[in-house]
Homo-oligomer: A and B are copies of this chain.
Amino acid sequence: MSSNPSKEPETAATEQLERFGLSTYAARTFVALASLGTGTARDVSQVSEVPRTRVYDAVDELHEWGLVDVQQSSPKEFWVISTETACRRFERDFQHRADTLRTALGELEPAEQQAEQRGVWTVNGRAAVTDRTLEFFTTAEEEIVYMTIENLLTEDLIDALSEADERGVSIKLAGVSSDVQEQIQEEIPGATMFESLWVWSDTSAGRLMMIDGRKTLVSALVNGEGASVSDPRSETAIWGEGETNSLVVVLKAIFTWQLDSAEWD
């Protein structure tokens, strides 16, 4: 939603630092010091857009994080740790947070949740849809039927399919061109290809999937099929779970028909 590669590195760095929890002044000060290496409040104020009198607060904040050291002289001088050390520090800090979160969440989960028989859920955004797809792949026990346009068949999806294949899950794939098929066959030896009866790529459909005949997902590219493929927000999906779930019933009918009438590879 934000990080633009064509931006000046100062802006990009500042933005990321802010998202890590630094104030804008602190972020800008850090970036300024990162290029200066060492400097006084005035130096920092000049290269960054931070008011001189606020540099001191910003440095205090950075000092709290252990990112900047202060020389008690007049004028005070400020020193930054190497950018690489800073990045590693953030990574370490974050990993710690993630671990804390994981254990905390693991200690919850008392309420038992049974699969919903009724209801159709919506998912927005390329990343979220892919995530859901991956999650469903990993829960598959017997069969995965998956139709997709080729752009959406990314490496991580293939990996998950390959993993399922090794787990003994039967995999049926459609929608990919014949040259890609060969390549897939190598990575997922157990996969079966089938031709879609529809001219799949001409519709605005994205993926269509069924897991164990009881969990289905279908997605569409909301802005048509053109340049929007690169737009991560352009995909919307709905999914449902349970033998009697309406979406599941409908899609199961379609898929069964497809699989029966399609030519097999």
Contact = CB atoms under 8 A, between A and B. Distances in A.
A1 to B, nearest CB: 9
A165 to B, nearest CB: 21
A53 to B, nearest CB: 21
A63 B236 CA distance: 12
A226 interface: no
Contacts of A71: 119-122
Interface in A122-147: 122-125, 127-128, 131-132, 135
Nearest to A84: B102
Interface residues of A, number: 69
A86 interface: yes
B124 A19 contact: no
B90 A101 contact: yes
B105 A34 contact: yes
A77 interface: yes
Interface stretch (A92-100, A185-193, A207-215, A256-264): A92-100
Contacts of A101: 12-13, 16-17, 20, 87, 90
A168 interface: no
A230 B95 CA distance: 21
A132 B83 contact: no
A66 B109 contact: no
Interface in A61-103: 63-66, 69-73, 77, 79, 81-87, 89-91, 94-95, 97-98, 100-103
Interface of A: 3, 9-10, 12-13, 16-17, 19-21, 31, 34-38, 63-66, 69-73, 77, 79, 81-87, 89-91, 94-95, 97-98, 100-113, 116, 119-125, 127-128, 131-132, 135, 239
Given A13-B104, A71-B120, 17 more contacts: A9-B105, A10-B108, A12-B100, A12-B101, A13-B105, A16-B101, A20-B97, A20-B101, A35-B111, A37-B113, A69-B132, A70-B121, A71-B122, A77-B116, A83-B109, A84-B102, A90-B101
18 contacts: A9-B104, A9-B105, A10-B104, A10-B108, A17-B101, A34-B109, A64-B125, A66-B123, A66-B131, A66-B132, A69-B121, A70-B122, A71-B122, A73-B119, A84-B102, A87-B102, A91-B95, A94-B94
